[in-house]
Structure 1
Amino acid sequence: MIRRLAAGSAIVARQRSEALAAWVAAGRRDDLSGWAAVLGPAVRLVALAAVAYGALTLARAMPWLMWLLTAWWARAAWRAAAPAEGDEETLVDDEEQPPVADPAGAAVALLRRVLGDRPAVHLSEVLAHLQQHGQGEGWKVADLRVRLEALGIPVDPKVKLRGVPTRGVRAADLDHRFPTKETPASPTQVDAA
């Protein structure tokens, strides 16, 4: 439940910030030049600042409103991270479909296929693989990262392949968190002799 709320909060925050940024950018007038062209976005930024100041003043005057805002945010986060119908299968190839009862297992199977015998893979490569197979349309790398982290799959922020460090998944992390028959789980207890 906490992972779903955290993943949903990240999605909602990104969606709201992108929507506000698009709204501010839409104020720019292409038919004008110089300072007149950027006057629209400047006015919109001032309007956003005024709304934020008004909301802060209102929250200080009536703190109980924060409970409503918290409830709204939690509901939006919960709905944003909710798997859509058939979404459990979105991290899986068409080749061999694991049961949808285990979406983490399906995602790990896909990651192992994309990894092959390499030690790591960038999330952008995994996303490209998904989109080649008709899945994850419209996703960004951040969307894939949020979904993988919500499933408990470790995402490393600095996977360096071909000289480029970016977010990715390491085979060693998968073997440690999701052992296969070939890679048994590390013992949790050491026998005292």
Structure 2
Amino acid sequence: MNRLTRTAGRLADGSSALARRIGARMAAWVARARREDLTGWRASLGCWLRLALLTLGLYLLWRLVRALPALLCVLSAGWIAAAWRAGRAPSPEAADEAPADAPAAPDVEAVRRLLLDLMGTGSGVHLRTVLAHLQEHGQWEGRTVTDLRVHLARLDIPVDRGVKVSGTPTWGVRRRGLEAPSPAEPQEPSTAPSTAA
């Protein structure tokens, strides 16, 4: 592989990662506007407002670039620099170490406690609420609800598509799924006296 191919590959990988990261952050910002204390269309008014603001911002940026074409060179140079940094291959030393935001052995009980805390007195919690909570605390930046769903499935935490919170069904975790004994836990033998004669 020659140098030009490596450079193009790094820029392509970096651009793809950068686009996914920006898209996930914008989606998370829009999703955080959803009101959990309301139901129906009123609950999503904040999401629609933020989506309209994003659309307006992109339209204004497009108009600005059309009015000042030289600005496109500056924006392109900024994108190339950011893509170059994002496409950097990890060093061999960093590859040996586990990433800080993804521990090698997650504590399943800590995840269960977090989910139960987010449920409060309710019967379930939506995954978008869990993701927004994690991102507000500096975790899971640039990740999506699908990433969270896959992660919970790896931890054997049951995820359901029809969890209703405030009347809206979507992907979430039910309280009864968290409080049920794990299949890995051994069942204690019954100490009740047998009634068989």
TM-score normalized with structure 1 length: 0.45
TM-score normalized with structure 2 length: 0.44
